[in-house]
Amino acid sequence: MKTLGKILLLAPILFSFLILSCSSDENGDVKSDCGPNYCVSELQGTWDASEYTMTFCGTGSIPDPSSYDVIAAGGSATMTVQSNGRFTLNIIIMFDGQTFPETVSGTIYFEDGEFFAIQFDDDDPDDPTYFGDTFTGTRFTLNSGTPVAEWDFDGDEIDEEACIFVTFVRD
């Protein structure tokens, strides 16, 4: 019985220690302006896509064709980035003689100063999308690696999940 009494007396202290040691930053991951190789402010300006490819990356059977090159098909994509990471991406997709304009906006940042992230305006604010990125000063590439769009690759009127690869050049 003495042992049980000691455990009951120590339980609140141990529980408090456990809660404190497992708690995380109230704000979650840190949104940084600078990453390992560059700062978001260096992206400020207007960027034109020289390549914008959507590739099937969903589950199930692979459609034929399994990719669509927006630029090669006569479309365009222009992104304007502010020094604080706010951006607007205007995409014009040409398909079957029709024009499909799309505008996407959000904020670019580095999570924990390491991972390139985009918080799209129409997504959950606690759920950023991560991209592979490269930046050379005049060239900026993004690779989603996971589905970030939908496209009907095979014309069966069913959209499939798509990954994107975009190469931007400074305007």
* Tens of pLDDT, residues 33-69: 999 999 999 999 999 999 999 999 999 899 999 999 9
23 pLDDT higher than 50: no
Q: Which helix (H) or strand (E) holds 4?
A: helix 2-22
This prediction's pTM: 0.80
CA separation (Å) from 120 to 22, 77, 95, 104, 130?
Answer: 30, 17, 25, 7, 11
Instruction: Give the pLDDT confidence score for residue 86 in this predicted structure.
Output: 98
Beta bridge partners of 73: none
Instruction: Give the pLDDT confidence score for residue 16 in this predicted structure.
Output: 33
17 pLDDT higher than 80: no
Instruction: Give the pLDDT confidence score for residue 28 in this predicted structure.
Output: 62
Question: Quick one: average pLDDT of 8-21?
Answer: 34
22 pLDDT higher than 60: no
What digits encode the pLDDT tens for the residues 75-126?
A: 999 999 999 999 999 999 999 899 999 999 999 999 999 999 999 999 888 8
3 pLDDT higher than 80: no
Q: Are strands 129-130 and 67-69 parallel, antiparallel or unpaired?
A: unpaired
Instruction: Give the pLDDT confidence score for residue 15 in this predicted structure.
Output: 34
d(CA 59, CA 46): 35
Residue 9 pLDDT class (50, 70, 90 cuts): very low
Tokens of 62: 């692979």
More confident residue, 139 or 15: 139
**Which single residue is written with the structure tokens 């005049």?**
138
Phi-psi region of 122 (alpha: psi -120 to 50; beta: other; left: phi over 0): alpha
The type of residue at 63 is P
Q: Which of 6, 13, 47, 28 is nearest to 115 (CA)?
A: 28
